[in-house]
Amino acid sequence: MRNPMDTLGPASESLRLAENYRQMSDDELIDLGQRPRELTDMAQGILAQEISSRKLKVPSPEDQLSRDRIRAPEDAQDAESPEEEKNRELVNLSTVWSRRDAEQLQKLLVNAGIPVYFGPEKVASVEEVRSSFADGLDVLVMRIARDSARNALKYYNPQDWPDEEKDTESEEFAIHCPKCHSTDVVFEDAGGVEPEDDTITQKFDWECAACGYKWEDEGVESKS
């Protein structure tokens, strides 16, 4: 007979994993955190939450891969293929300028089962960040999870932006996504000309490759 829990889907699995990790010792959590490739994306996200709540320290994925190679360089079967290594590479998803925006993104991504890392330290929790948010802090995910993370960005509503005094002259005319402020912007189309009095205004269509937001403007974004 099928276990009734098998029919409850991801929500049931998420609760099961959370309870399992709560019952583990600190050493067990750290050991598991050093072997992330053995876990699903959902399990990695829930494990990261439990590790963060206990304020434990776990080496970054890159450090752990280096240690694995040092410990067992002769074990070819356990070594990652170039493709697997590339998939686990951390890539920039977005930039935040405040702790509250970082916490909002962390909650969105962890709830989606996507591990997330912050800043040059590549820490797995906003609480561990020591860098300045005022200079802009990179939000990183594994390359293999980038598309799923971009879907989660559709629900991201940032509250804070860089100070105008810190904008350079070249940044004054840069195109940024009005929603997530990413510069990963794609030009879609010139929407034609619209006569206004004695002037002709050219309209441009844009799409943010990070969060999928679409908008129209005159082709130049001034400081926000």
pLDDT score of 2: 45
Structure confidence by residue, pLDDT tens digits, 28-80: 888 888 777 788 888 888 888 888 888 888 766 555 555 555 454 444 455 66
Q: Using CB atoms within 10 A of its CB, is residue 208 exposed (0-12), middle (13-18) or buried (19+)?
A: buried
**C-beta separation of 116 from 62 below 8 A:** no
pLDDT score of 173: 47
**Torsions phi, psi of 138, nearest 5?**
-70, 140
pLDDT score of 79: 60
Low-confidence ranges of the chain (pLDDT < 50): 1-8, 70, 72-76, 165-173, 193, 199-200, 220-224
pLDDT score of 86: 84
pLDDT score of 103: 94
Number of other residues whose CB lies within 10 A of the CB of residue 123: 20
pLDDT score of 64: 53
Q: Please list, in sequence order, all residues whose beta carbon lies within 8 angstroms of the beta carbon of residue 107, skipping any fewer than 6 positions away.
A: none
pLDDT score of 172: 45
**C-beta separation of 171 from 161 below 8 A:** no
pLDDT score of 219: 52
> Whose structure tokens read 């996200």?
45
